[in-house]
Amino acid sequence: MSGNPVVLEAEGLTYRTGAGRPLVADASVTVRAGDMVAIAGPNGAGKSTLLRMLAGLLAPTKGSLQLCGSPFNAYAPLERARRIAYVGQLDEPDRRLSVYDYVALGRIPHRARASRAEDRRIVEEAIAELRLTGKKLSPLGQISGGELQRASMARALCQQPDILFLDEPTNHLDPKAKGTLLSLLFARGITSLCVLHELALIPKLASHTLLLNRGRVVGAGRTADVLTAQAVHKVFGVDFLHLAHPTEDRVVSVLDIPVGSGHSASN
């Protein structure tokens, strides 16, 4: 394990519905500074529920959560907002806001500490980094779903958080854009927890992986140790292959997804 300080530690997190059904059961997680953690698992495994508990957005039925060595609830809301940023699947900002004004909301936690000039610089840099400069004056209601997702990322980056929480950040993006966006985010080196469905991208980007199945953590640690062919087949029921690239000196991870015997695209 890395010798970096622990920034987030959860013990025995459990979440039950009002009817008593457990969505996540007894999840323990340790995240160190600089870790880039992918949260993977089938639909209904509890990934988003766990992420929301770790981000302090959903109170667990039981369990404890510490942020930078102190109980999560010991932090005032403004201090939490300086330390963590969250981008969800279902964020619904006011579509009348311009892209610039929406991204600038990420600077609110820092307004007492930063100058207006510094705020503007940080906002402009985030907009440029997410390739939204040409859209910065456009209302959110007039941009695409992928552009809105990138604007949400830019807002989160403007918070300059210690930890970034991302719930399926590549929704609405085409395949190449997914890789570009995730590479950009992870290249910043921000401690991150990211729910991802793109298993083939995880070995390239995430230092660590949490593998969930039926509400329980069934694997946690270095991605190479957790996201094995055996584990993927057991949890997802598909083969996870690592193949030599035909023209480049690198390995490509692919999923062999069955589509039914006898089926052919030419039929």
pLDDT of residue 261: 61
Average pLDDT over residues 239-265: 78
Q: What is the pLDDT of residues 64-110, one digit of tens each?
A: 999 999 999 999 999 999 999 999 876 788 899 999 999 999 999 99
Distance CA 184, CA 170 (A): 12
Largest CA distance in the chain: 65
Residue 119 has pLDDT above 70, yes or no: yes
**% the chain with pLDDT above 90:** 67
Q: Which pTM value belongs to this model?
A: 0.89
Mean per-residue pLDDT of the chain:
90
Q: What is the pLDDT of residues 2-60, one digit of tens each?
A: 579 999 999 999 999 988 899 999 999 999 999 999 999 999 999 999 999 999 999 99
Distance CA 46, CA 166 (A): 14
Beta strands 6-16 and 22-32, pairing class = antiparallel
pLDDT of residue 1: 43
Token duo for residue 41:
């698992």
DSSP letter for 196, please. Answer: -
H-state helical runs in the chain: 47-54, 77-83, 99-104, 116-129, 145-158, 175-187, 202-205, 223-226, 229-236
Token duo for residue 230:
């055996």
Provide the Cα torsion 43, 10, 185, 158; round to 10°: 120
Query: What residue segments make up the domains of the chain, in order of their start?
Result: 91-160
